[in-house]
Copies of this chain bind each other. A is one copy, B any other.
Amino acid sequence: MRETANEPFVYNAWYIAAWPEEIEKGLVSRTIMNEPLVLFRGPDGKVAALEDRCCHRGAPLSHGTLTDGRLQCGYHGLVFDGAGKCVEIPGQTSIPPHTRVRSYPIVERQQIVWIWMGDPSKADESKILDYPVHDQPEKWPHKKATFVIKANYMMMIDNLMDLSHLAYVHRKTIGGSPEAHATAENSVEETETGCLYQRWMMNSPAPPTYVKAVGFKGRIDRWHRFEYVAPSTVIQNNGAIDAGKGARENQNQPGLQFELIHHATPETETSFHYFFSVANGYRQDDPAATEQLFNETYPTFLEDKVIMEGQQARIDRDPHRDLIPIMGDKALFTARRALKKMIDAERSSFGTVAAHRA
């Protein structure tokens, strides 16, 4: 396989459009796969996603106002429902049926707002990723965030599929010693939907975030279970127990455990919305612990942002120039193979994407 850095979009897939709490604060204007969208909650409480462009004079609908769940353009007052249909034109009694804006399938589930950017007739809800962690706030108290990273979305997958970067990028938080990373035991398996990457660091020094979280005094047995679900999700479970206590056999002993969902929703070819939710699985009845975990995680991921954006700047100079693989790339390549399979399948169903845009 010839490996290149940037990957094209997979259209026929569910992506995270927003966290529900973003939408409670007002109209959300967000570009996904080069389409400017506006997100809002309709009169029935259902989240809607419309093209963020009034069909009348092109004004952004996100400059408008939401009244009783219907979106009114802030320029000349046209009103649209969640399906993109114009339901009112001030000063005009009849509304021609073509007066409408594009809408996108949305499903809100497990505290995630999912969107489908491809052929709407293929928007099968049963294919939405299950994330039961969000169903169990008592077992997994969690906190969410999102920001834009100016890099192709696959840079996030690359990043998460080679954990040796923890030793160099995240020294101050979740790093751990380079030696511990260099000697970690890795396993990579293809799955039906992507790949599973696991990593054990036995008898290794506890990184700063781990010590802050549960006060490890000595060495730890540390695991990482990263599951890539193509095209854009990584589910992460990781944790640690005092070294030599049998962590491999039983991870539910006292110690540290947290779980994350990472998701990269393409904004443009060279930028993505990074969504993450981090769940505290070790001091569940202590909100301060969840807060602390989040406060360690957020700046850690900003470190990734800096390196990915630097990486993309170099790649942009010559996107097809070869990169040189190393042994640590195994999970990354397995993930990219899974993605390419999706891309190839979508492309072979010729005309699909073009058709739904007509």
Contact = CB atoms under 8 A, between A and B. Distances in A.
A327 interface: yes
B323 A91 contact: no
Contact of A326 (B5, B89, B183, B312): B89
B75 A324 contact: no
A120 interface: no
A132 interface: no
A33 interface: no
Contacts of A325: 56
A165 B76 CA distance: 5
A76 B164 CA distance: 6
Contacts of A25: none
B77 A168 contact: yes
Contact of A78 (B64, B314, B326): B326
Nearest to A53: B314
A73 to B, nearest CB: 7
Interface string A225-237: 0000000000000
Contact of A56 (B53, B76, B323): B323
Interface stretch (A251-259, A273-281, A303-311): A303-311
Interface in A279-333: 306-307, 310-315, 317, 323-328
Contacts of A317: 36
Interface in A12-63: 36, 52-53, 55-60, 63
Instruction: Report which residue of A60, A313, A326 has the largest number of chain B beta carbons within 10 angstroms of its beta carbon.
Output: A326
A323 B55 contact: yes
Nearest to A36: B314
Contact of A324 (B99, B178, B183): B99
Contacts of A162: 76
A64 B90 CA distance: 54
A92 interface: yes
12 contacts: A58-B315, A58-B323, A59-B314, A60-B311, A72-B168, A76-B165, A76-B326, A90-B181, A91-B164, A91-B182, A91-B183, A92-B327
Given A74-B168, A91-B182, 5 more contacts: A58-B315, A60-B311, A63-B306, A89-B328, A92-B326
Interface of A: 5, 36, 52-53, 55-60, 63-64, 72-78, 89-92, 96, 98-99, 158, 162, 164-165, 167-169, 178, 181-184, 306-307, 310-315, 317, 323-328
